[in-house]
Amino acid sequence: MKNDKATRIIEKALKQGRKTLSEYEAKQVLSAYGIPITKEVLAKDKAGLESGLKKIGFPLVMKGCSADIAHKTEKGLIHVDIRTAAEAKKAFREILAGMEGYEGGVLMQEMIKGRRELVMGLTRDPQFGPCVMFGLGGIFTEILHDVSFRRAPLEIRDTKEMMQEIKGHKILDAVRGMEAADQKLLSEMLISVGRIGLDFDNVMEIDLNPVILSGSKPVVVDALIVLK
C-alpha cells in the first residue's frame, strides 16, 4: 500500500511537470518509508534561517535546494562545517545569490561525521522492473564500481547477500576502532528502497549517496529521485 505522504510529494512534482524531486522532497519520501535521513530544515527566508538554527544546531551543512539544480557542488551551493550564526547567515546569503532564477530554498542539515560512506539506489530495468543497488559510496562509487544488485521485492536474505558480494564488505565490520555497521538497519533500508520502486511505477531512479555510517548507524546524507 502506497504511503500517503510520499504519494502527495510525487504527485505534486508530476503535476508541476518535473522529472526530479528536490533533495528535501526526496528525503521526505525516504523518511515516510522509515529510511533514516539527516535532521534538516528547508529555509526560504530569514525567519526560516533563524528557526533552522534553533532546530538543527551546530556544526551545520547548508545547501542550495531546488529540483532544477543537479550539481550543487559545482555551483558552489554547498557550505560545510558551519559553526556559528554569523557563518550560517553568510552562507545563507551566498547560496541564495547563487540560486537566483531557481525556485527553492536553503537546506540546513546536521553535519554527519563518519569515515565510511555507502551508496544505495534503485534503477528500473525494462525487463526486470525495479532493481535495488548497494555498494561503496562517496567518491568511490564512480572509481571502484563496487556494487551489488537485486530485483525488488527484497527479503532479508537478499540484502545480506548484497552486503557480502561487494569487494569492500569488510568496511561493514568493526575496523580500526570503528563500530560494526548496523546490518539489520541496512537491510531494512534496502528493502524500503525496493518498496518505493514497487509502489510507484513513475519512480525511475533513486540515488542515495552518500549513506554515511555515523558510528554503527547508517544515515542518508544526500538523495536524488528521478521520475518518469
113-140 per-position pLDDT tens digit? 999 999 999 999 999 999 999 999 988 7
Structure confidence by residue, pLDDT tens digits, 23-76: 999 999 999 999 999 999 999 999 999 999 999 999 999 999 998 886 666 577
Helix (H, G, I), strand (E, B) or coil at 97: helix
**Sign of the CA dihedral with 124 first, then 130, 131, and 136 last:** positive
Rounded CA-CA distance 68/19 in Å is 9
Question: Residue 141 has what pLDDT?
Answer: 83
Domain with CATH 3.30.1490.20 in the chain: 40-110
Rounded CA-CA distance 131/70 in Å is 23
Structure confidence by residue, pLDDT tens digits, 48-63: 999 999 999 999 999 9
For 4-36+113-227, CATH gives 3.30.470.20
DSSP string, 152-194: SSP-HHHHHHHHHHSTTGGGGS-BTTBPPP-HHHHHHHHHHHH
Q: 9 pLDDT exceeds 70?
A: yes
Mean pLDDT, rounded, for 169-191: 97
For 40-110, CATH gives 3.30.1490.20
Backbone angles phi, psi at 96, to 5 degrees: -60, -40
Per the DSSP assignment, residues forming a β-bridge with 61 are: 109
In 3D space, the residue among 71, 167, 8, 55 whose CA is nearest the CA of residue 63 turns out to be 71
Predicted model pTM: 0.94
Grid cell 558551519 is found at: 82
Rounded CA-CA distance 23/127 in Å is 29
Domain with CATH 3.30.470.20 in the chain: 4-36+113-227
For 142, residues 6+ apart whose C-beta sits below 8 A from its C-beta are: none
Question: Residue 184 has what pLDDT?
Answer: 99
Mean pLDDT, rounded, for 74-92: 93
What's the distance, CA 147 to chain centroid? 17
Q: 199 pLDDT exceeds 60?
A: yes
Question: Residue 73 has what pLDDT?
Answer: 61
Structure confidence by residue, pLDDT tens digits, 133-161: 999 998 878 888 999 999 999 999 999 99
Question: Residue 76 has what pLDDT?
Answer: 79
